[in-house]
Structure 1
Amino acid sequence: MNRFWEEIKQQFTQGSILTRLIIINLAVFVAINLVHVALFLFTSSAENAAGSMQNIISWLAVPSSVGELTSRPWTVVTYMFLHKDLFHILFNMLWIYWFGRIFLMYLDQKKLLGVYLVGGLSGALLYILAYNAFPAFSDYVPYSIMLGASASVMAVVFAISFYVPDYTLNLLFIGPVKLKYIAVFTIVLDFLMIASSNAGGHISHLGGALFGYLFITQYKKQKDITRWAWGLFYPEKSGTKKKRRNPHMHVSYKKASPKTDMEYNAQKAKERKELDHILDKVSKSGYESLSKKEKEILFKMSNKR
């Protein structure tokens, strides 16, 4: 058992942001359900246990009532890590794992964290605005709450789907489908499901998706609108003191212009595709089948990694 916890700890401390987000969601899910079991076992009636559990959930889930929100403002963050039902967390974690891995192929971990957090905030904001703006929800505002990572996940899905829209996934029973079609299908489905019993959840999906799309449109203009969010966890280092230059030493050099994020990510994608081709060739025909240039590329790329 100690070894199991050590492995979990190692995955959390040394793993990627994607791994950490999944672990946090799973840990909260397990903790919430352990509390539920304890309440069930040690409370005299099932009704009292259910009431106590609902109070705990309400303390962490985001409310649609602005008055309730002012009394527990932290819920705009805690709700996006909170799940109670098994299938709810299962589907959310599968989606964030699949699309998060593609996201990290083209963008970095800081941006994944930023999109997840700000996407979740956007989902909560649209949920609260919709419930307070539309008459259809007026009767539900006093007691409606929302929980789950769905809005954050949709932000990640839409961000990467519109950054590499033609990236193709092979779906079971369907076959190859481009990311842009998956994104459009999910958002249309969410819009059509607003009239269902989970209206708040589907509205929050729209908020997360809208932010994911907005993030990518701005990122393509060299603007990262999530910098402030991931900056809370990755603060910029203050400038270090420059070394004093010897006045008698004159060095002449030409400073290379730095690559933009898009140029850097494009280069990474090109190198990854080239490496995948070489590795596929090795697996099929062996190392000796490689040309001299391919062997050099493989050697350089392996040293980089």
Structure 2
Amino acid sequence: MSIIDDIKRRYITGNIIEKLILINIGIFIITVLAGLFQKPYAGNMNFIAEWFSLDDTLSGLFTKPWSIISYGFLHAGFIHILFNCIALYFIGNLFIQYFTEKQLLNFYVLGTFFGGVLYIFSQSFFPLFEGKNSYLVGASAGISAIFLGIATYMPNYELKFPLIGYVKLWQVTAVWILLDIIGLVGNNAGGSFAHLGGALFGFLYVNKASNKEIKWFDGLNALFTKKEKSPLKTVYKSKEKRKSNPDLNQQQVDKILDKISKSGYDTLSKAEKDFLFRQGKK
């Protein structure tokens, strides 16, 4: 079996994550090959990257409306696509344990879309980008949407990392978001805005669809909030302890049964009858 046939088989039998990875790798190879054959005077970008990447202006979006989605399948280099594919594989497989493959594709595409929208907005209105020209490529916005989606749905899910141990998913996601926030003042500030746009979509969509309040920072609150002691807490614990003591309960039951055998049921007090009734329901 040839390599091409093996790739076809993997694509047909694979899940949506494997399909997306193969599509991204295939487009990357085509883009690299196109760059090798383009003429030297064609510029820094080959015609595929230029035609399908997202420009930093609103007018560019009107010229290439498909680029608001197509940029999410292009990558700037080998390291770029390598890390994105690794992230998509692990995050995506966690996502489809609780959601469908169709939902993952929706998160990828819509996360890419909203990431592109925030990218164009940032380029147009933030003084940081004044006088600079750029273009956007990469699957990171779609991956961020998937990541924030699953993290919002189950923030306390634990992941095991070598040399670290178990870490909650919301903690990993907080680091992910923090790196993008720091990146807003770096060389890839536009890309960081796109990542945050995809992440924001993933969070808001799951938060709205789940119809419940997502308490994201319970862990942080526990670290910095001092718990107040309640005088009722001791009383409650004491009551639970008496209820959970089978020996004490059994002694009282035996005492009541012994009284019944000697004097009859009618000689029991109301409290003794109620206690015997409660024990009989257990």
Pairwise same-fold verdict (TM > 0.5): yes
Aligned to 2:114: 122
Indicate if the aligned counterparts of 2:31 and 2:46 stay in contact, CA closer than 8 A: no
Picking from 83, 97, 118, the partner of 2:89 is 97
Which AA in structure 2 matches 1:200? G
Indicate if the aligned counterparts of 1:64 and 1:127 stay in contact, CA closer than 8 A: yes
Aligned to 1:221: 211
Indicate if the aligned counterparts of 2:55 and 2:135 stay in contact, CA closer than 8 A: yes
* Structure 1 residues 249-305: Cα deviation after superposition (integer angstroms, max 9, x where no partner): xxxxxxxxxxxxxxxxxxxxxxxxxxxxxxxxxxxxxxxxxxxxxxxxxxxxxxxxx
Which AA in structure 2 matches 1:96? L
Classify the secondary structure of the residue corresponding to 1:105. Answer: coil
Shift, 1:173, TM fit: 3.4
Classify the secondary structure of the residue corresponding to 1:130. Answer: helix
Distance in 1 (alpha carbons) for counterparts of 2:3 and 2:183: 41
Indicate if the aligned counterparts of 1:65 and 1:144 stay in contact, CA closer than 8 A: no
* Structure 1 residues 104-153: Cα deviation after superposition (integer angstroms, max 9, x where no partner): 1111111000000000001000011111111221212xx31100000001
Max Rg structure:
2
In structure 1, the gaps of 5 or more residues are 223-305
Indicate if the aligned counterparts of 1:80 and 1:149 stay in contact, CA closer than 8 A: yes
Relative to structure 1, is the Cα distance of residues 26 and 189 closer, same or farther in structure 2, using a 3 angstrom cutoff?
A: same
Aligned to 1:82: 74
Moved more, 60-69 or 2-11: 2-11
Distance in 2 (alpha carbons) for counterparts of 1:87 and 1:172: 22
Distance in 2 (alpha carbons) for counterparts of 1:53 and 1:173: 42
With normalisation by structure 2, the TM-score equals 0.71
Which AA in structure 2 matches 1:165? P
Picking from 110, 116, 130, the partner of 2:102 is 110
Distance in 1 (alpha carbons) for counterparts of 2:15 and 2:48: 30
Aligned to 2:254: none
Aligned to 2:65: 73
Classify the secondary structure of the residue corresponding to 1:139. Answer: coil
Identity over aligned pairs, percent: 35
Shift, 1:171, TM fit: 2.0
Distance in 2 (alpha carbons) for counterparts of 1:84 and 1:133: 25
Indicate if the aligned counterparts of 2:119 and 2:193 stay in contact, CA closer than 8 A: yes
Aligned to 2:267: none
Shift, 1:182, TM fit: 0.8
Indicate if the aligned counterparts of 1:80 and 1:152 stay in contact, CA closer than 8 A: yes
Classify the secondary structure of the residue corresponding to 1:169. Answer: strand
Distance in 1 (alpha carbons) for counterparts of 2:81 and 2:209: 29
Which AA in structure 2 matches 1:34? L
Matched, 1:206 2:205: no
Indicate if the aligned counterparts of 2:35 and 2:46 stay in contact, CA closer than 8 A: no
Distance in 2 (alpha carbons) for counterparts of 1:219 and 1:25: 29
Indicate if the aligned counterparts of 1:159 and 1:215 stay in contact, CA closer than 8 A: yes
Which AA in structure 1 matches 2:11? F
Shift, 1:8, TM fit: 1.2
Aligned to 2:183: 193
In structure 2, the gaps of 5 or more residues are 213-282
Which AA in structure 1 matches 2:29? V
Which AA in structure 2 matches 1:215? Y
Indicate if the aligned counterparts of 1:157 and 1:209 stay in contact, CA closer than 8 A: yes
Matched, 1:26 2:25: yes
Distance in 2 (alpha carbons) for counterparts of 1:134 and 1:195: 12
Indicate if the aligned counterparts of 2:57 and 2:120 stay in contact, CA closer than 8 A: yes
Shift, 1:89, TM fit: 0.5
Matched, 1:174 2:173: no
Aligned to 1:15: 14
Which AA in structure 2 matches 1:110? K
Classify the secondary structure of the residue corresponding to 1:106. Answer: coil
Distance in 1 (alpha carbons) for counterparts of 2:47 and 2:99: 39
Distance in 2 (alpha carbons) for counterparts of 1:211 and 1:72: 23
Indicate if the aligned counterparts of 1:123 and 1:206 stay in contact, CA closer than 8 A: yes
Classify the secondary structure of the residue corresponding to 2:167. Answer: strand
Please, what is the CA RMSD of the aligned residues? Answer: 1.6
Distance in 1 (alpha carbons) for counterparts of 2:59 and 2:171: 39
Indicate if the aligned counterparts of 1:33 and 1:84 stay in contact, CA closer than 8 A: no
